[in-house]
Structure 1
Amino acid sequence: MVYVRKNVSKLTRTERRRFVEALLEVKRSGEYDDFVRLHIEHFRGDGDRGLRAAHMTPSFLPWHRRFVLDLENALRRVDDSVTVPYWDWTRDRSATSLPWTDDLLGGNGRPVDRQVMTGPFAYATGNWTLRARITNVEFLTRDLGRSRRPIDLPTRDDLNWALKDPAYDVSPWDSTVSKGFRNKMEGWGSSNNPWRNHNRVHRWVGGAMLGGASVNDPVFWLVHAFVDMQWQRWQRRHRKHRYAPAKPPGRSSTQYRRIVARNEKLPPWDVTPDELEDMSGIYRYG
């Protein structure tokens, strides 16, 4: 049966509570930290050697689609009424709006060290110690809006700028491309505008959301559900265009064996981008 991923602003109080309780149970079991470790392991950039599957690469979108689906399945094993909500950052744009409420994700970090002190994921609750991490900080941190050199969240125009591009991705298939929906959505920009869309949201949240261990902040899932929703919107708008590249780059290419083509396996799963293009039999967005 197809289930619905809701806008976080439309969740009932009961739905909020059940989502939080399922997240806390997955954390207690140790499984949540495995998700953090997996993301850290696959957080590789243009300058790193070897295959890039999760970032700065065409498979950014299918990789995170499968990643969110795996977390959602873990939540639904705890409570099958739960789905991952999405955060529409073009509408809920302040540090006090949803999802930053005490009954959901908690609020901003305190000025002295950016530690989140409110909500169910505050360190003081004893339920959310960061065990898989890239720093020595054990508590969740946020710097909503960035206290130094403040920035704004992406706008609806920023999304439309990405959505109107009919190409999925283009050579050289990395963070430097200026065309293609994938990088416009992922958000690697120019020196004048370095962060767009997804990347800008990570920067706006700040704290734990910066870097490979960003999964430690539960807002990660709400951000990527909204990114996934935009991919579905792009797919409906450009029905004749698909994931690219269709074939892997040849030996003469700088991207040889460094990116995942449409019908190649997407690490760490036994699945291809082609198999992840249509999720209509599993979930839809409401």
Structure 2
Amino acid sequence: MSWWFKQDEIHKVTHVHVGPEFLPWHREIVNRLEEMLRSVNPKLSLHYWDWTQDPRAIPNANLGDGRRGTLNLFTSDFMGYGGPTQQEIGEPWLNAGFYVPSASPNRETSDNPADPPRLVTRAVGPASAPSHASEDQDEDIVSQANYFAMRTRLQAVHNAMHGFVAMGRQHISFRDPFVFLLHSNVDRLFALWQTQRGHPERLDPNYVYGPDSNDPGLNSNIEPWSTGHSFDSFGIEHFARPWYMPENMGMPRNYKHPSIVQPPMYDSNIPPDSFTSPPAAVSWGPDRLDIFALGSRSQMRHRAWHVNGEWFPKDDWEDLSGEFTSPPTVVSWGPERLDIFALGLGKDMYHKAWHVNGEWYPSLGTWEPLGGQFTTPPTAVSWGPDRLDIFALGTRNEMRHRAWHVNGEWFPKDDWEDLSGEFTSPPTVVSWGPERLDIFALGLGKDMYHKAWHVNGEWYPSLGTWEPLGGQFTTPPTAVSWGPDRLDIFALGTRNEMRHRAWHVNGEWFPKDDWEDLSGEFTSPPTVVSWGPERLDIFALGLGKDMYHKAWHVSGEWYPSLGTWEPLGA
């Protein structure tokens, strides 16, 4: 007996056509046929017919070899006959033995599933059911709030589509291979309903069936694959091998088994919202954290840790809308204040702020456009209340700048300040006090450049020039300040060793004319932090992707030493 003929027997001996079991039972038979196809060729997948399209003329379809056009599924090399009157399905199924007109015995007379049927017929778009389903019907199915409402609508459209593609009578439709394209679409819509965002319960076996959950059928074995012993919807008893004796290959499971509840990976599934950018985190006070990252639709997502000891939102991430092409940059200049910056689809800058009044500005669902066009993500810093400075490279790789003033306005008002230069790395910016900014970036020769904003209200060396700091580097700079008039800059040199230079309170760079060699050989840019005056901690990944650490102590020495690093393992 062929495995294809077995599908008709399985359908007949169970005949699950009504009730809450209808969707998960047909999911199982669809999944199992795909498993059998993949036992022949692991690259095969069972496709579906999107019943909102006429299967005789699917527009803009993938025709193979990079071609697109109108596709007819009913041809002699795919699904066979597709006319409006009931006729035999023909090739390719006739020569493949899916039915044998001269068969004796045959399934129609012997009722033996091992015997081939004499005929398999279909009609597509007959006068009795001339129309395929609509997108509105699909949307109505997927928008239902619970399983009962969803399944009743889905089964109604399913029934209508069995009329549009009429595959003989209800009890013999599984003799027609097209039935699996129809039922794959039924399962696809079930899966799409399950994966709607904000409904994790639809993936939970204990809750997916909602008001139907206590139905005796859902809590009984799914047959014939559990034991092979079943009663069809007419009450007739059946015994199906190999799940029944003598093979006893059944594996008892009910309709709440995770393998049945878990939706297959259809291309229309809505994935759980994952992240597509690294996180950005900031704290505006004790026991407060705010984390931001881009979601799977490139929208901004946010979650906060509150002083009450809970995450908000409690079980998900807040959707701050937007569509971005850069990771977020976040800064806080005081309690209850957050400012987020990111590049939009046109590489222009957008901004959103959280105010002390407990609201997002401009609103939860909108962003303030700041214009410009940039080639690097933004870098933002604040040197005091009501002050923000944002930097990014423009289209000529020049440094661009815009500031928010205490007077409540952006400067420049309608554009971005051109700080000149031509750079190959994003800027790194640090502030060690009010009215002080220090910007670092790599030039065309991978050497370091610096510009500062002074308390006297001027750029140093000037608006149009930069201070060359020499060196040659393979990573963007990392800068930190542990107090007024103190800067420490780190980057990897040409041998991937750690390099360092510091600005002292005495008004000089150290080393004076070069960069201090902190040794090591690294595969990641450095991360540096300071928790107090005369304290620096540097971290980077070594050749084996293991972590290394070096610290500067108040004693005026490097730990473990200038030439060694503390291994922190992998």
Residue 165 (1) aligns with residue 144 (2): yes
Residue 61 (1) aligns with residue 33 (2): no
Describe the shift of the 1:152–1:38 C-alpha distance in structure 2 as closer, same or farther (beyond 3 A).
Answer: same
TM-score by length of 1: 0.65
Residue 104 (1) aligns with residue 65 (2): no
Q: How does 1:124-273 map to 2 (within 5 A)?
A: 125=95, 127-129=97-99, 132=107, 138-146=118-126, 148-169=127-148, 180-187=149-156, 197-208=157-168, 210-237=169-196, 238-241=199-202, 242-244=208-210, 245-248=212-215, 257=216, 259-261=217-219, 264-268=220-224, 269=226, 270-273=252-255
Q: Distance in 2 between matches of 1:30 and 1:212?
A: 19
Describe the shift of the 1:110–1:86 C-alpha distance in structure 2 as closer, same or farther (beyond 3 A).
Answer: closer
The answer to whether the Cα contact below 8 Å between 1:142 and 1:206 also exists between their aligned partners in 2 is yes
Unaligned residue ranges in structure 1 (runs of 5+): 1-28, 44-53, 170-179, 188-196, 249-256
Describe the shift of the 1:140–1:77 C-alpha distance in structure 2 as closer, same or farther (beyond 3 A).
Answer: same
The answer to whether the Cα contact below 8 Å between 2:194 and 2:263 also exists between their aligned partners in 1 is no
The answer to whether the Cα contact below 8 Å between 1:103 and 1:120 also exists between their aligned partners in 2 is yes
State the match for 1:116 in structure 2: 89
* Letter in structure 2 aligned against 1:181: M
* Letter in structure 1 aligned against 2:77: D
Once the two structures are TM-superposed, the CA of residue 222 in structure 1 deviates from its matched residue by: 0.8
Q: Distance in 2 between matches of 1:231 and 1:161?
A: 12
Question: After the TM superposition, which of the residue ranges 125-134 and 213-222 deviates more from structure 2?
Answer: 125-134
Describe the shift of the 1:233–1:279 C-alpha distance in structure 2 as closer, same or farther (beyond 3 A).
Answer: closer
Residue 94 (1) aligns with residue 94 (2): no
Question: How many residue pairs align between the two structures?
Answer: 210
Q: Distance in 2 between matches of 1:126 and 1:223?
A: 21
Once the two structures are TM-superposed, the CA of residue 109 in structure 1 deviates from its matched residue by: 5.2
Other structure's SS at 2:88 match: coil
State the match for 2:13 in structure 1: 41
The answer to whether the Cα contact below 8 Å between 2:81 and 2:87 also exists between their aligned partners in 1 is no
Describe the shift of the 1:95–1:108 C-alpha distance in structure 2 as closer, same or farther (beyond 3 A).
Answer: farther
- Deviation per CA, 1:123-150, whole angstroms, max 9, x where unpaired? 3x2522165559996122111111x434
* Letter in structure 2 aligned against 1:167: N
Once the two structures are TM-superposed, the CA of residue 95 in structure 1 deviates from its matched residue by: 6.8
Q: Distance in 2 between matches of 1:278 and 1:133?
A: 37
Other structure's SS at 1:142 match: strand
The answer to whether the Cα contact below 8 Å between 2:79 and 2:92 also exists between their aligned partners in 1 is yes
The answer to whether the Cα contact below 8 Å between 2:8 and 2:174 also exists between their aligned partners in 1 is yes
Higher relative contact order, chain-length normalized (CA < 8 Å, sep 6+): 1
Q: Distance in 2 between matches of 1:94 and 1:156?
A: 17
The answer to whether the Cα contact below 8 Å between 1:36 and 1:132 also exists between their aligned partners in 2 is no
- Deviation per CA, 1:262-282, whole angstroms, max 9, x where unpaired? xx32222322222211145xx
Once the two structures are TM-superposed, the CA of residue 230 in structure 1 deviates from its matched residue by: 0.6
Once the two structures are TM-superposed, the CA of residue 31 in structure 1 deviates from its matched residue by: 1.3
Once the two structures are TM-superposed, the CA of residue 78 in structure 1 deviates from its matched residue by: 1.8
Unaligned residue ranges in structure 2 (runs of 5+): 59-70, 101-105, 203-207, 227-251, 269-570
The answer to whether the Cα contact below 8 Å between 1:85 and 1:222 also exists between their aligned partners in 2 is yes
Q: Distance in 2 between matches of 1:93 and 1:74?
A: 25
Describe the shift of the 1:104–1:168 C-alpha distance in structure 2 as closer, same or farther (beyond 3 A).
Answer: same
* Letter in structure 1 aligned against 2:87: R
Q: Distance in 1 between matches of 2:11 and 2:222?
A: 14
State the match for 1:278 in structure 2: 262
Q: Distance in 1 between matches of 2:53 and 2:129?
A: 18
Once the two structures are TM-superposed, the CA of residue 226 in structure 1 deviates from its matched residue by: 1.0
The answer to whether the Cα contact below 8 Å between 1:104 and 1:120 also exists between their aligned partners in 2 is yes
CA RMSD in angstroms comes to: 2.7
The answer to whether the Cα contact below 8 Å between 2:99 and 2:117 also exists between their aligned partners in 1 is no
Q: State the percentage of identical aligned residues.
A: 23
Q: Distance in 2 between matches of 1:110 and 1:86?
A: 21
* Letter in structure 2 aligned against 1:247: N
Question: After the TM superposition, which of the residue ranges 223-232 and 136-145 deviates more from structure 2?
Answer: 136-145
Structure ID, larger Rg: 2
* Letter in structure 2 aligned against 1:266: I
TM-score by length of 2: 0.34
Q: Distance in 2 between matches of 1:141 and 1:109?
A: 11
